[in-house]
Structure 1
Amino acid sequence: MLPNHPWFFLLTLAAAVGSGLVAGVFFAFSTFVMKALARLSPAEGIRAMQQINIVVLNPAFLGVFMGTVVVAAGVVVAAVWHWQSPASLYIIAGSLLYIVGTFGVTIAGNVPLNDALAKVNPDDAEGQRIWSDYLRRWTWWNHVRTAAAASAMMLLVVGIAA
């Protein structure tokens, strides 16, 4: 049986809500932001994405993005400790999916691409070549982390309800 404490419920709920919020942000990028940037000239698209990558590093987004990692890790520990509950499997799976599939993919996939784009001169031919590759690769990784965050949210909700 999972701990019957309000804090456990609230932490699991916070992890689910955080996963959902992050999934929504990433979904927006996958479905229309990157498509809009691709319609701009390469130089304009590069400049816009370079600015997005600076502005996204703010307390509101990072608080939800990183806070969900911390909360999910805590929920995993509690759920593992009480693994015999059927709900624990959903909570562990959802939490790990967020940590690995959303945070891990961001660190291993999207951040290196963002770091490389930050060094690009939007006005030269090499920058424009990199931009084309960036759009394709960054968006693919973003689809992965969108699906991971949305799936994590669903699993956490099922775990709460179980």
Structure 2
Amino acid sequence: MNGLRVASLLAATMTTGLVAGVYGTYANAVMPGLAKTDDKTFVGAFQALDRAIVNPLFLGLGFVGALLFTALAGLLSLKEKALPWIAIAFVLYLITMILTIAVNVPLNDALKAAGDPNTIDVAAARAAFNESKWVAFNTARTILAVISFGFLGWALYLTGKSAAQP
């Protein structure tokens, strides 16, 4: 049981870190880079990025996996000192998922549904996308995911520390 507890906590930490890194990359490189492009480039590139990220590896193992691994780690750590940190990490990460599903995904889907950048009014599609709203909510989910990752790292430290004690 101890091995499964540690493995689930390690998986939770790694997958949460992966998702925090993706959000952070969008916050620090993707969106600032796209912000400097013309409307056609923005719409086409964003549509392509969004289509690419919707894949089983990221969505299943990363996005959903982080929550499931954190829940499993918490259930297997009910009597451990790490539990409060795992629980807080779970709640913070759950909030990132809610923000993603409630705000970012609908904006992404609307931009994809706008159509081919070669045949639509790309200025209108970009304006309807509401870049500033997308960026603000991505910043929030980035911060929450990074904090969640940090709490899971702390929980991993506490788990290792308690395992080392006689």
TM-score bracket, normalised by the shorter chain, equals 0.7 to 0.9
Partner in structure 2 of residue 18 of structure 1: 15
Structure 1 residue 75 displacement after superposition: 2.1
Aligned residue runs from structure 1 range 1-162, under 5 A: 5-62=2-59, 63-79=61-77, 81-82=78-79, 85-98=80-93, 100-121=94-115, 122=117, 123-124=120-121, 125-131=123-129, 133=130, 135-162=131-158
Q: Distance in 2 between matches of 1:128 and 1:60?
A: 28
Structure 1 residue 154 displacement after superposition: 0.7
SS class of match (1:86)? coil
Structure 1 residue 68 displacement after superposition: 1.3
| Contact kept in structure 1, 2:111 and 2:126, CA below 8 Å | no
Q: Distance in 2 between matches of 1:120 and 1:138?
A: 16
Partner in structure 1 of residue 161 of structure 2: none
RMSD across aligned positions (CA): 1.7
Work out the number of aligned pairs and report it.
Answer: 153
Segments of structure 1 that go 5 or more residues without pairing to the other structure are none
Structure 1 residue 50 displacement after superposition: 0.7
- Per the normalisation by structure 2, the TM-score is 0.84
- Percent of pairs with identical residues: 31
- Per the normalisation by structure 1, the TM-score is 0.86
| Contact kept in structure 2, 1:105 and 1:141, CA below 8 Å | yes
Which whole-Å deviations, capped at 9, do the CAs of 1:92-124 have from their partners, x for residues lacking one?
1112211x2222211112111111111224441
Counterpart code for 1:33: V
The more displaced of 113-122 and 4-13 is 113-122
